[in-house]
Structure 1
Amino acid sequence: MSAAHLLLVEDEQHIAAALCFNLRQEGYQVQQVDSGEEALQRLSHETFDLVILDRMLAGELDGLQVCQRIRRIEPQLPILLLTALGEEAQRIAGLAAGADDYLAKPFSLTELLLRIAGMLRRSAWYRPQYNELSRYRFGDAEVNLISGEACRAGQPFQLTDLELRMLKLFISHEGEILSRAFLLKSVWGMAPDTETRTLDNFIVRLRKYFEKKPARPRHFLTVRGRGYRFNPEG
């Protein structure tokens, strides 16, 4: 069995370094990022088995906001929230945002490892099932964010891996303007200054799939000179 792949979202470098070391000693594969924005970018094009998410993060998104956005694109992905805020109200807020478990700092390394092992074990019981929580709906469309199966106006179709990756990136950044450079780097790993029509072709495909009138889009919007924005409400 391959080692579980963990994403650690922690901006305090001394804590991040210690956690990465100890988790790798336990045999886990670990990737660490400093911000919620970078975490969402990684999740849009890589598969993880569990996310360890700090409640207080530098950047525009805090841990609760990141947790909520992860839940939109990865309904079954286990999330363990770490925080220095141990009050009951804060724990409830974290669980309400979609976290599966909550651990207050300072914490015991042994307890952390036991909780991670337990969450991974439980997630394995349910992950093979594509249930209703895996589905995202907008307009008259519905998408299974795990399998890529989709339908609009009752007509089924299958998204490719790259199409699903781009859609999940838009969903995780709902309402935000995403630059061409950001999309090229996040979906294809291309340099921001790459001259290519690949992105434009994929936008055309998403509009063809999900818009009632692709020539007059209501969901996948062009923001002239800045990039694209996803509006699920239309």
Structure 2
Amino acid sequence: MRIALLEDDEHIANLISLWIEEEGHHCTIFPDGRKMLNALKAGSFDLLLLDWMVPEIDGEGVLLWVRENLNWRIPIVFLTMRDNEEDIVKILGLGADDYITKPIRQKEMLARITALARRANVLDTEKSASAELKYGPYTIHLKTNTVSRNDDAIKLTKKEFELVLFLFRNLGRIVSRGHMLESVWGHSQDINTRTADTHISRIRNKLGLLPENGWRISAIYHHGYRLEQIDGDEAVTH
């Protein structure tokens, strides 16, 4: 899971990042709200952790921008010293999903992150690891790492399967090329964006993810891709 942390206290930020990395996730630290917003405009994350009082643009400002501008409801957790009831009610009312007061307790924070990610379908769970995921005519068989369309098996390479799974888990959401490369190829791999573009083209053709079939993979300029299901009327016009 790709997590963005807004925290201007370097010691706290590094400690939280360490806890997150030890859980097997990737954490990117932003010391001020403006830097985080610039990153959100160019990239994508699975979950945001926001401190309230930070330089440039505060956590509340970041929250409002995210809810007004991102095309999907990314989970957001506030981590802050402000613990009075009015503040908690306000920030939850503005669209935060959870609120944790400082000092942060490691196990509690990680449990809340896991619960939110599970509800948002951005985290594999024990149940889903042994199940099948269905999206219209497509079935993703997680036990065998295979995909079928109307019960007909589709031959995919290992990376093509992982990319299909990543895109369907993020159905309707814009995902950056960097997010895609990190999730499918691993952030330590020296892979260029042309590799992702080539794999996108292959799975589009193999799965028939085309407007005439009610599906579309759109390239978003300077950002990444979005897989979406389109209605019948829109499909006819393409």
TM-score interval (norm. to shorter):
0.5 to 0.7
Residues 106 and 47 (structure 1), Cα distance of their counterparts in 2 relative to 1, 3 Å cut? same
Q: CA deviation at 1:43?
A: 1.1
Residues 159 and 101 (structure 1), Cα distance of their counterparts in 2 relative to 1, 3 Å cut? same
Q: CA deviation at 1:163?
A: 6.2
Does residue 36 in structure 1 map to residue 63 in structure 2? no
Match of 2:64 among 62, 68, 72: 68
The answer for the alignment partner of 1:136 in structure 2 is none
RMSD: 2.8
**Aligned equivalents of 2:117, 2:217: Cα separation in 1:** 29
Q: CA deviation at 1:161?
A: 1.0
Match of 1:146 among 173, 176, 183: 173
**Aligned equivalents of 2:217, 2:113: Cα separation in 1:** 34
**Aligned equivalents of 1:97, 1:49: Cα separation in 2:** 19
The answer for the alignment partner of 1:113 in structure 2 is 110
Letter in 1 for 2:62: V
The answer for the alignment partner of 1:173 in structure 2 is none
Match of 2:220 among 158, 161, 170: 161
**Aligned equivalents of 1:47, 1:147: Cα separation in 2:** 7
The answer for the alignment partner of 1:124 in structure 2 is 121
Does residue 78 in structure 1 map to residue 71 in structure 2? no
Partner-residue secondary structure (3-state), 1:31: strand
Deviating beyond 2 angstroms after TM superposition, the runs of 4 or more aligned structure 1 residues are 145-148, 157-160
Match of 1:11 among 8, 11, 22: 8
Residues 49 and 106 (structure 1), Cα distance of their counterparts in 2 relative to 1, 3 Å cut? same
The answer for the alignment partner of 2:93 in structure 1 is 96
The answer for the alignment partner of 2:194 in structure 1 is none
**Aligned equivalents of 1:18, 1:98: Cα separation in 2:** 26
**Aligned equivalents of 1:164, 1:113: Cα separation in 2:** 29
Question: Unpaired segments of 5 or more residues in structure 2?
Answer: 123-133, 136-171, 176-215, 225-238
Residues 159 and 94 (structure 1), Cα distance of their counterparts in 2 relative to 1, 3 Å cut? same
Number of residues paired by the alignment? 138
Residues 164 and 11 (structure 1), Cα distance of their counterparts in 2 relative to 1, 3 Å cut? same
Q: CA deviation at 1:32?
A: 0.7
Letter in 2 for 1:107: I
Letter in 2 for 1:83: T
Partner-residue secondary structure (3-state), 1:124: coil
The answer to whether the 8 Å contact 2:43/2:223 transfers is: no
Query: Scaled by the length of structure 1, what TM-score is found?
Result: 0.53
Q: Percent identity?
A: 30
Q: CA deviation at 1:47?
A: 1.7
**Aligned equivalents of 2:37, 2:83: Cα separation in 1:** 25
Q: CA deviation at 1:94?
A: 1.0
